[in-house]
Every structure is written in structure tokens, then in C-alpha cells.
Structure 1
Amino acid sequence: MDLIAYNKSERVANITINRPGKRNALNPELVTSLTKAFDAASEDEDVKVIILKSNGDVFSAGADLEYLQQLQNNTNEENFHDTIALKELFLSIYRSPKLVIAQVEGHAIAGGCGLVSVCDIVFSVPEAKFGYTEVKIGFIPALVTCFLVRKLGEGRAKEMLLSGELIDANTASDYGLINFIVNKEGISISVSAYAQKIVQGTSANSIALSKELLTSVQDLSLDEGLNLAVSLNVKTRSSTDCKRGIAAFLNKEKLEW
């Protein structure tokens, strides 16, 4: 069975984790497949939005049991390369020039919640629970920490990462981990409608440059961040998209992106 399903329609790439019998748990093969899929979608000029979702009742339960057992016998070098692979997946999602939406229709735990953390927009069903349970098995959510502090701030990140407790969708929304809560019957429609709103109403170039600024500015001093903002502002003004957008605005025309 293919570990993921990939399809593209109306400028939206759908990447679906397909290990329902294993609760969509992560293993090295799945991590590699997801990275390749995100890289392909990010490089596809016909794609403006990427949707990440899963088959089955669980979004992702984190690492699977066979993988956890294998970790105990890995050499340091094997663990290094394995961790680098997961890092590359998170960065592929986080730095994608396309808008990335997570469609969460079940629990997202440990590494599965890590996937949620690096997406731009998150839709969830009310029943889903979220959390990073690594500390309960003597592990640490090392890679996730780098992204979660950016998303939630240090206080909330500490609360989630150090306790290992699960939170419900309403709490995850209050914390800023997810954006929208929609019932299971309506979540696919809501996600598709949101994706099409982005496809039809926004410039792909503007999304890409805005994400570049958003993912970079937190690592820079104020002056460095402003200098990057200036350079991207200048770059945007000379772009075809900006010229088309301003012309359409001035002429009161509806622009088809």
C-alpha cells in the first residue's frame, strides 16, 4: 500500500497520509515520502495551496511501535541521519512557498502534532486531541520545540512540551495551535472553500514572499528584519503580480489570479 496519496486539482495539491491501520504513525519511509511530496508540490508552479490530511480516524499518532523499538538498537550515526530526515520534512512544510493547510480529523500526537505545528493554517474536528507525549516515554520533542516556541510562545510551549498532556481542540484553538474547528461532516467542504479563496483571491508571489519574511524575521534583529522587509518590498513592487493587482484595483476590475 502506498504510504501517501497525492493528487492535484484546481491548483490545490492534496497530500494524504495513508497508514490508517497503523494510526498514520510516522516511520522513515513515510517521512521520506512526505518530504518528496511536499517538495514536489512546492516546486509545482500550478500549485498555490497544499492540504495535508490523513485517511482513518487518527491524523497521526507519532512514531510507530516498530520504529520506537528499532531506535533502541540504532547507532548514533543512524539516529543522526534519521533525525535529519525528520528535520528536512518539517522544514519542507514550514518553508514551502505555498500556503499549507492541515485538515485534522483525528488525534494528532507527538510527531503527528509536530506536523500540525509546522502548517500555516489548521482546521480540526472538535473531537481531535493534540499533544507532545515524548517526555512520558523518556524521549524529548526536540525538533518540534524549535517550531512550537515560534508559534505559541515560550510559556505555552513549555506547558505542552514538559507535561506531555493532551489538550482538546477548543484549548488548542485558545493556545493558537489551530485556527478553525469544524464538525466532521463539514470539514472537507470548509477546507476546500478556504483553499479556493486563497487560490482565487491572492497572488502566489505575494504568498511566497510573505512566508519568506514570516519564517525569517524571527531570527533577525530589528534592523536586519527591516532590511529584509525593504528588499522584499522592492522585489514585490517590480513583480508582474503587483503590477497586475494595482492596475486591476485602479480600474475597479476583478482580477483572476
Structure 2
Amino acid sequence: MKFDYLELIKDNQVATVWLSRPDVHNAFNEGVIGELQTCFDALAHDDDVRVVVLAGRGKSFSAGADLNWMKKAGEASVDENIADAKRLAKMLHTLATLNKPTIARVQGAALGGGMGLVSACDICVASTHAKFATSEVRLGLAPSTISPYVVRAIGERQARRYFLTAERIDADTALHIGLAHEICEPDALDETLDKIIHAILQGAPFAQCASKSLIDMVANRPIDDQLLDETAKHIATLRQGAEAKEGLTAFLNKRTPNWIV
């Protein structure tokens, strides 16, 4: 695939999607959103890819919306604005529900929609130079399309503060509130990322996909008979699968399972 705004690099079961507009801090426009959608759709069907890393070229991960794109949107009709926002919402949802693990590699600023991308990923690894913000209110807007993923990442209570204040969130705070899973010095970012990727590749791919859907199934639900029944059916189905049989056989025979290459 050839892109104007992205770079896609595949290596050893890992696909790294680079936002590649460093001159404008990897800001969003309709072209970026469309290419990310195309890229995520393709990676979902690529069996050679086990892990997807989202990264940004240059100083910033992503500074959010391109100001020229926002100005254009402000002059468009209501219907055009709704269609435009739906494309962004669909892209974020595709990332958030991708059928394989996703990791945000954050070396600098991740603002507005950039923080939305980070929150939509399963895992966030950030440098100590990283900065985050839901900065929309300072532009007379709200973090509407990114809100489901940011609230899921940091919780409603923290979202009430940062949606309203648009304060910059430093790396230590991001770790404290659950937005980042690991923080490290900038020169250790890729080493830290590689350790997490190595851990992911030890697991079975379908089981990881099932584990992602399991979290969505049980999160914020009461532990009642219906949920107990659903989780029992979930594990019972997996037990009958080829991966589970391979994993158990490999364990008993003290060999490496076939998903580790």
C-alpha cells in the first residue's frame, strides 16, 4: 500500500503505522483519517501481522486536528460536518476494535485527536517527553468522537477534570491516571516497546483477539447470572478450539507452541 500521509513498515509479525506529517506535527485532516481507515482495515485481514504499533514521525505523536481542516469544517454544512465526524469516529472505532493487539508509541505531544488515537490503542508506551491533552474546549469545541476511548482509558472522574481544563498531562501523570502503561527515557522507548511486543508474541493470536472482546463484554457490567453464563460459554468455546489444544499439547510435551516463530 502506498500512502501520502502514512508509512507502513512490516517486520517480524509487527506492523508499524507511522503518522508522517512531521512539518505539521502529524495533525489530522480528511486524508490522514482516510488513510488510517484503509490501513487498519487491511491490517485486520493480514494474518502475517500479530501486533500493530502506531507511531509519529518528528517531534510529536499527533497534535490533533489540522487547523485548515477545522476551518474548512466550520464553513461546511451540518450534514457535511456530520459525515466528516462519522469518518473520524469510524476510524477510531476500527482501531479500538482491531482483532490484534495495538500499541501507541508516544515520543512527544499527543493532543486532541492524537490523545484519542492513544486511548483507542490497547497499550501505550510513552517517553518522559510525552505530553497529552484533550484541548478541544480551548477552541470552543468538545472531545466528542474521542470521548468513548479517553473515558475508557482514564475513567470518568479524570475525564471530568481534563475535558474541562484542557491541561497538559505530563508522562508521570499519564502513568498515574492509567493513560500510559509504561514511561521511559526517550532513548529507551524502542527497547521498552520491544519487550512488550516480545511478551505479546508469546501468546496465541486468536486467544488475544478473544481476550480483547472479553474485556468489552465484561467491563462496567454487574456480576450477575447472565454475565457468569456468558463468561462460561466464552471459555468453553475457546477450550474446544485448535489454539487451546495446541497450547495444552505443547505445554505437556515441553515444546514451543506453533504460534511462536
3-state SS of 2:146 partner = helix
Deviations 1:183-210, CA, capped at 9 Å, x for gaps: 22121232123213311x1000110000
**1:212 to 2:206 alignment:** no
Q: CA deviation at 1:131?
A: 0.7
Residues 1-257 of structure 1 aligned to structure 2 (within 5 Å): 2-199=4-201, 201-218=202-219, 222-223=223-224, 224-257=226-259
- Asked if the contact 1:7/1:14 (under 8 Å) is kept, the reply is yes
- Asked if the contact 2:124/2:181 (under 8 Å) is kept, the reply is yes
Distance 1:110 1:191, change over 3 A: same
3-state SS of 1:153 partner = helix
Q: CA deviation at 1:217?
A: 2.6
Q: Which runs of 5+ in 1 are unaligned?
A: none
Q: How many pairs align?
A: 256
Q: CA deviation at 1:82?
A: 0.8
- Tell me how far apart the structure 1 counterparts of residues 17 and 198 of structure 2 sit (CA, whole Å): 16
Q: CA RMSD in A?
A: 1.5
Q: CA deviation at 1:256?
A: 4.2
Report the residue type matching 2:24 in the other structure. K
Q: CA deviation at 1:68?
A: 1.4
- Asked if the contact 1:95/1:215 (under 8 Å) is kept, the reply is no
- Tell me how far apart the structure 1 counterparts of residues 204 and 220 of structure 2 sit (CA, whole Å): 26
- Tell me how far apart the structure 2 counterparts of residues 134 and 20 of structure 1 sit (CA, whole Å): 21
Q: CA deviation at 1:5?
A: 0.5
- Tell me how far apart the structure 2 counterparts of residues 51 and 233 of structure 1 sit (CA, whole Å): 28
Higher mean alpha-carbon deviation, 183-192 vs 85-94, is at: 183-192
- Asked if the contact 1:213/1:228 (under 8 Å) is kept, the reply is no
Identity %: 32
- Asked if the contact 2:131/2:170 (under 8 Å) is kept, the reply is yes
TM-score (norm 1): 0.95
TM-score (norm 2): 0.93
Q: Which runs of 5+ in 2 are unaligned?
A: none
Report the residue type matching 1:153 in the other structure. G
Q: CA deviation at 1:81?
A: 0.7
Q: CA deviation at 1:221?
A: 5.0
